[in-house]
Structure 1
Amino acid sequence: MAQSISDLQEGRKVVGDCGSDFSPPKWLEMPKYKRGQELLKENIFATLFCHVGGLIMLVNVPSIYKLLDNTGNSRSLVSCFQRYLKTLTHVKSWYETDIFDASSEGMMILHPNVLGFSHLSRQDKEAVAHCWRCIGYQLGIDDKYNLFGSDNLHTIEKLCQNIEAEVFRPNLTANYLGGLRMGKTILESIRNIVHGLTYHGFMKFWSEVIGVRYLVRLSAGDWLSYVLISVVFRGRMFSMFPLRNGFNRLVLWAIERASLRAMTIYKDLCVRDNKGGVEVSACPFAKFHDYL
């Protein structure tokens, strides 16, 4: 099992699919897996929010960016919308179906209090980690390179801290314009699924979560987006079941509605792509100590 970030990095030189099939692994604890899956389903709004935030930060890692760029599915607003609407629908199915029937997750483990998971106990977090270990297994990730491959939650938390410090922060502040542009394109496309988000408001929130400074002057709309996100997540709203359930229903409805309106959205995004898509003039991130 991975004990350090260097253990995980060894996996970059290994064939991606370890050859796992639909048979449950020997280490599977079915009650723990089911509990983790149920918790993720009960917190689907916050879970998908973490997935999107982790993805947008991850594309600033050059090796990840090049991989996604080569697919051609993340270069334009239209292709991003098509790809990530399907991805959100697919990820949602992980938490609604039996994955043994024939990307970012570490953020909610690392920052539960500001990402809508303050109500989860340590036992709940262990169940969530076990569920993700099972999902990783089904995706073909060898346990040796699975971020959630350990049975020890402290080891997983330490790995997540190292990834944040050694991968996310340095790459966000490296002024990698290709990754920044792709991240903005992804969020601009997702705004057609979840309305009310703005790129700068969204990224200001996430920059504070991981401890980097956001340099862009926010517009009134950006501030509104940032404040709404902050109130929802930092205000501990998700610790109250009626509110949590309401947000869950809202995001599921939004995904379904976007699927039904896909052709109309495609046309609108095609117009924006033809006008140049999104632009990023400079890196908006900086380490906090650079400005002290």
Structure 2
Amino acid sequence: MLEQECKEEPHTEQEEDADAEAEAYLNHLLNDGCNEGDSGAEMEMPPWYNEQLFIRGQTFMSKYRFVLHSGMLAGLVAVLAIPSILRILICTRQSSTPATAYRRYLRTILHTNAWYDHSPTSKNSKFWTSLRAVRKAHSHSSKASTKLGSGQITQKDLALTQFGFIGFITLGAPRIQLYDEEFLECTSHMWRVLGYLLGIKDEYNICGENWSETKKRLNIVRQKVYVPALENTNEEFVQMTKALLEGLWPVNTTLTVGSFLFFTKRLAYVKGYEYYEFDQEPGTKRDPDQKKYFYDLNWWDRIIVSYGLHVVTYFHKYNIVRCYLNFRVWLSQLIVYYLPYVAIWKYGFKSAYVRIFTHSGKEKEFQFHLKTD
């Protein structure tokens, strides 16, 4: 049985120092990180790279595939609530309609899978090819959006996007009874390395030297950046989120805008999006007068939310259920890659097939559709 209410415990001096360090990190990120672009570092492993931790982190995709992809998708939705990132996405016109969003976010899924599936040992592997392609695309988008007045992709944007890939899947682990410390430590290191390779300076990297430091940074970013952003979204966020989720419907036909927005805001601990008693912000008590947005959902969204949360919260811990959920994700991605019949029906044959590598294994050039095109 999950703990029904989080009790606030007194902090030790060491914990208070860690909190102060996390606060200093956030202030530096928000005040200075918004003025700096790509780190300019070479595409080489950082001096603090731990090969054993990194490769072990890659293996968790096969063990926790369902929750990793679900958490990352929720993170991508949350990222759209950050105004500076949303402006650049609108400017590059890569995800403003379901058809373009399908291609953009399917590419994101394929690149993420490449980082988990391919060895970093050989510089000729698809791991490095994918990272070079993404960093090149970021550079192109940053220059173009700056020229068009939407601003460059900054260290702040990169770090907040990094949260989207790791924040919910790690901070939310206890809420699905996933108490795997090795997973948390290895995943933290893996995404610290990936952040470095994608142009994030160590001082802005949301992943610290260990999981304990990373957890503090993720928590303060969630509390002071993502919660306010998700509480005060605008019409552009709604439009882009709708395009994203409707665009990925051929990948997962259970996706609905209402249910997944609820999932995302619940993971961020946004008030009113509680489902279980333990869904309160850690250290706070339940407000009996708090509005429950669950009851604003239509009947189908409510069924999806109730079924999804019940299965993941109480049954994901069992191997047979976890294997079934992982298999579903693997199979759906396999179908979308080789025979995307739903996408063909919705977007046409040419748009339905998405590739990030050429037949020879080289990077496939991104196609941009800027406002001036």
TM-score of the superposed pair, with normalisation by structure 1: 0.83
**In the TM superposition, what are the counterparts of 1:57-72 in structure 2 within 5 Å?**
57-72=78-93
Residue of structure 1 in register with 2:360 after alignment = none
8 Å contact from structure 1 (residues 17, 141) kept in 2: yes
SS in 2 for 1:141: coil
Are the structure 2 counterparts of residues 140 and 100 from structure 1 closer, same or farther at C-alpha, using a change threshold of 3 Å? farther
Query: What is the distance in 2 between the residues matched to 1:167 and 1:122?
Result: 26
Residue of structure 2 in register with 1:273 after alignment = none
Query: What is the distance in 1 between the residues matched to 2:185 and 2:171?
Result: 13
**Match for residue 206 of structure 2 among 144, 147, 152:** 147
**In the TM superposition, what are the counterparts of 1:191-270 in structure 2 within 5 Å?**
191-212=249-270, 213-214=272-273, 215=293, 217-235=296-314, 237-262=315-340, 265=343, 268-269=346-347
SS in 2 for 1:192: coil
CA RMSD of aligned residues (A): 2.2
SS in 2 for 1:147: coil
8 Å contact from structure 1 (residues 24, 100) kept in 2: no
Query: What is the distance in 2 between the residues matched to 1:19 and 1:199?
Result: 38
8 Å contact from structure 2 (residues 57, 190) kept in 1: yes
Query: Which residue identity does 1:257 align to in structure 2?
Result: I
**Pairwise CA distance, 1:52:** 0.7
8 Å contact from structure 2 (residues 59, 116) kept in 1: yes
Residue of structure 2 in register with 1:83 after alignment = 104
**Pairwise CA distance, 1:262:** 4.2
Are the structure 2 counterparts of residues 250 and 144 from structure 1 closer, same or farther at C-alpha, using a change threshold of 3 Å? same
Residue of structure 2 in register with 1:174 after alignment = 232
Residue of structure 2 in register with 1:135 after alignment = 194
Query: What is the distance in 1 between the residues matched to 2:341 and 2:88?
Result: 27
**Pairwise CA distance, 1:96:** 0.9
8 Å contact from structure 2 (residues 102, 248) kept in 1: yes
Query: What is the distance in 2 between the residues matched to 1:124 and 1:205?
Result: 22
Give the stretch that moved more between structures: 212-221 or 162-171.
Answer: 212-221
Residue of structure 1 in register with 2:26 after alignment = 5
Residue of structure 1 in register with 2:144 after alignment = none
SS in 2 for 1:144: coil
Query: Which residue identity does 1:210 align to in structure 2?
Result: A
SS in 1 for 2:118: coil
8 Å contact from structure 2 (residues 171, 219) kept in 1: yes
Query: What is the distance in 1 between the residues matched to 2:122 and 2:311?
Result: 35
Query: What is the distance in 1 between the residues matched to 2:115 and 2:40?
Result: 20
Query: Which residue identity does 2:338 align to in structure 1?
Result: L
SS in 2 for 1:4: helix
**Pairwise CA distance, 1:264:** 5.4
**Match for residue 182 of structure 2 among 89, 104, 123:** 123
Is the aligned partner of 1:19 residue 2:41?
yes
Q: Percent identity?
A: 22
Equivalenced residues, count: 265
Q: Deviations over 1:247-275 (max 9, x none)?
A: 122112111212334475255258xxxxx
Query: What is the distance in 2 between the residues matched to 1:188 and 1:67?
Result: 20
Query: What is the distance in 2 between the residues matched to 1:262 and 1:17?
Result: 38
Query: What is the distance in 2 between the residues matched to 1:44 and 1:20?
Result: 30
Query: What is the distance in 2 between the residues matched to 1:107 and 1:99?
Result: 25
**In the TM superposition, what are the counterparts of 1:274-289 in structure 2 within 5 Å?**
none
Q: Deviations over 1:37-89 (max 9, x none)?
A: 11233212111111110111110111110011111011101000011111111
Asked which structure has the greater CA Rg, the reply is 2
8 Å contact from structure 1 (residues 60, 180) kept in 2: no
Residue of structure 2 in register with 1:165 after alignment = 223
8 Å contact from structure 2 (residues 98, 248) kept in 1: no
8 Å contact from structure 1 (residues 41, 96) kept in 2: no
Residue of structure 2 in register with 1:48 after alignment = 69
Query: Which residue identity does 1:222 align to in structure 2?
Result: D
8 Å contact from structure 1 (residues 201, 225) kept in 2: yes
Query: Which residue identity does 1:181 align to in structure 2?
Result: Q
**Pairwise CA distance, 1:122:** 2.3
